[in-house]
Structure 1
Amino acid sequence: MIFSSLYSGSSGNSIFVGSDRTKILIDAGMPGKKIDEAFKAISENPKEVKGIFITHEHSDHIKGAGIVSRKYDIPIYANPKTWSAMEKSLGKIKEHNIKIIEKRSTVVIDDLSIKSFNIPHDAIAPVGYTISDGNKKISVATDFGTYTEEIKENIKDSEIILLECNHDISMLKYGPYPYTLKRRILSEIGHLSNEDCGTAIVDLVKYKQGKKILLGHLSGTNNLPDLAYQTVLNSLEEHGIVQGDDVNIAMASRHEPSGIIRV
C-alpha cells in the first residue's frame, strides 16, 4: 500500500492512500490548485483517484473537495449528517458522485476496504477511517479531543497511522485565542494535545510494534513541530519505548506532502 500526507494541519488537510490498483483521498481541505501541486510532488495522477472520503464538514477538510470532484469526476463519500452540513459549501456535485454512507460502515473499492469509525469532535457526525488491502492497514485519526476505546480498537493493528497531535497545552492556554475557543479545543470533543498524543502512542505500541506513526493536524498557533515531536519522544522514553525500534515517529507537514510511505 501507498500513503502520503499531502497536507495536515489546522489550515488544511488531505491524505492520499492507495494500492497498485486503487487510489483514494481522505479529505480535500486545501484549494484545488494546492491539491494538484501535491499530486505532482508525489508523482501521482489525480485522475486515478476513485473516491474522496470526508471525515467531517469543517472547511479545513472539505475546502477543495467540490472542485476536485468536478475537475476529475470523483465520487465524494460521507455520512448523511456530514453531507447535509457540507453540501452548500461543496457547490454543485454530479448526482453519480454523491455517495452517502452510514457511520461505522465499510466501502469496498476494487482491492481496498475503507471503514469509518466514530471520533469525539465538535462536528455534526465526525469519523476517522481505516484503509486495508486485506493484508496491510492504514489509519487516519485526527480532529478528536479524547483517545477513545473505539479509536484504539480500529487503529491499533495498523502499519501506518496519521494521529492527532494538535497543541501544546501551555502555548494554547497563554496564547492569543479567545477563552471560549481555548475551552473548545481543550474539551473532550476538541483536539488532542501533544501530551495526550504521546500517551495514546504508548498504548498503541502494545498492540503492534514497528508501526509508523505520523504526528498530524498541528496547530499553526499553539504548537511547533519540534515541540510536538520531543513531547511524544519524552512519553515514549518514560515507558522504555525506543524510537526507531519499537515504533517509528515522524511529522506530517502542514504545507507540503510528507513523502511516500510504502508498506
Structure 2
Amino acid sequence: MQLASLGSGSKGNATLVHADDTLVLVDCGFTIKETEVRLGQLGLVADQLSAILVTHEHGDHIRSAGALARKVGCPVYSSFGTASAVHDKRASLKEANWQEIRPGRTFTLGAMEVLPVLVPHDAREPCQYRFSWQQRTVGVLTDLGAITPHVVDAYRDCDALVLECNHDSQLLASGPYPASLKRRVGGMLGHLSNDQAAALLRQANVDRLQHLVLSHLSEQNNTSLHALDAVQRVVTRGRERISVASQTEGFDWLQVH
C-alpha cells in the first residue's frame, strides 16, 4: 500500500492512495492540465485512476474532479450533500459517473475498504476518508475545525496519516487576514491548528504510524517549523517518520509495509 500527493494547500489539493490494482485520487483541486502534469511527475497517467473521491465542495478540492472523471471514464464518489452543493458545471459530480457514499458506512473500492468520516467544516456534508487493505490503514484527514470523539475513533489506529496542520494560532491572530476570516479559519467549522493536530495525536496510537504527513499548511499563517515543533512534542520517537506536504510538490510515494 502506498500514498502520495499532487499538492496540499489553499491553492489546490489532491492525494493518491494505491493498493494492489486500485488507484484512488482523493480530491482534485487543480485544473485537468495541472493534474495530469503532476500525475506524470509521479509516473502516472490519469487513465490509471480507478476512482476519484471528493471530500467537500470547496474549489481547492473539487476544481476539476467531475471533468476529469468524465474525461477518463472513472467513477467519482462523494456525499449527497457535496454533490448537491456543486453548481459549476465543469466540476459537477452528478454529470459524471457519480456514486453516493454515506458517512460512517464502509464501502469497497477495488482492493480497498473505504470509510467516509463526517467532519465539522463549513461545507454541505464534508467527509474525510480512511482506507484499509490487508491489515494496513491509511488516513486522510484535513479541512475540519475541531477534533470530535468520532474523528478520534476513526483515525486512532493508522499506519500512515495525512493530517491537517493548517495554522499556528498566534500567527493567525497576528496575521494579515481580516477578523471575519480569522474567526472562520480558527473556528469550529474551519481548519485544524498545529496544537489541535497534536491533540489528536495524543489520543492516537502514534507508535503504529509508519508515516505522518503534515498537510494543508497555510502560507500566511503557518510554517513547517511551527507545525513540526507542535507535533514533535507528541511524536517524540521516530521523528524521521514525520514529513510536510507542500503546495507545489505535494509529497512523493510513501510505502506502507
Q: TM (normalized to structure 2)?
A: 0.93
Other-structure match for 2:245: 252
Shift of residue 85, structure 1, vs aligned partner: 0.2
- State the distance in 2 between where 1:134 and 1:190 align: 34
How far apart are the structure 2 equivalents of 1:6 and 1:91? 18
Report the equivalent of 1:69: 69
Looking at structure 2, the residues matched to 59 and 96 of structure 1 have their Cα atoms a distance apart, in angstroms, of 17
User: Is the partner of 1:30 in helix, strand or coil?
Assistant: coil
The answer for the alignment partner of 2:59 in structure 1 is: 59
Distance in 2 separating the partners of 1:113 and 1:194: 29
* Separation in structure 2 between the aligned mates of residue 100 and residue 199 of structure 1, nearest angstrom: 32
Quote the residue 2:122 is aligned against.
122
Q: Partner of 1:231: helix, strand, or coil?
A: helix
CA contact (8 A) 1:70 1:93 kept: no
* 2:62 and 2:91 in contact (8 A); partners too: no
Partner of 1:262: 255
Aligned residue pairs total: 256
Quick check: 1:15 aligned with 2:10?
A: no
* Offset, 1:178: 1.0
Q: CA deviation at 1:95?
A: 5.2
1:189 partnered with 2:182: no
Q: Deviations over 1:150-208 (max 9, x none)?
A: 111111111111001000111111111111111111111111111221222232235x4
Equivalent residue runs for 1:1-263 within 5 Å = 1-91=1-91, 97-205=97-205, 208-233=207-232, 235-236=233-234, 241-244=236-239, 248-263=241-256
Distance 1:90 1:119 in 2: 26
Residues 38 and 257 of structure 1 are in contact (CA less than 8 Å); yes or no, is this contact kept in structure 2?
A: no
- Tell me the distance in 2 between the aligned counterparts of 1:95 and 1:191: 30
- Structure 1 138/210 Cα, relative in aligned 2: closer, same or farther at 3 Å? closer
Offset, 1:242: 1.6
1:93 deviates by: 5.7
Q: Closer, same or farther in 2 for the Cα pair 1:225/1:82, shift >3 Å?
A: same
1:49 is aligned with what amino acid? L
Q: What is the identity percentage for the equivalent residue pairs of Structure 1 and Structure 2?
A: 32
RMSD of equivalent CA atoms: 1.8
CA contact (8 A) 1:42 1:257 kept: no
**Cα deviation, residue 232, structure 1:** 1.9
Secondary structure of 1:128's partner? strand
Contact 1:5–1:252 (8 Å) recurs in 2: yes
In structure 2, what residue type is equivalent to 1:85? A
The CA deviation at 1:30 is 1.1
Partner Cα distance (1:121, 1:96) in 2? 25
Q: Is the 8 A contact 2:83 2:94 kept in 1?
A: no
Where in structure 2 are there 5+ consecutive unaligned residues? none
Instruction: Write out per-residue CA displacement over residues 195-232 of structure 1, whole angstroms, 9 at most, x where no aligned residue.
Output: 221222232235x4343110001112111122211232
Distance 1:103 1:251, change over 3 A: same
**Aligned amino acid, residue 80 of structure 1:** F
Distance 1:197-1:63 versus aligned 2 partners, 3 A rule: same
User: Hey, what's the Cα distance between the residues in 2 that align with 1:91 and 1:146?
Assistant: 28
Closer, same or farther: CA 143–41 of 1 in aligned 2, 3 Å: same
Moved over 4 A (4+): 91-96
Long gaps (5+) in structure 1: none
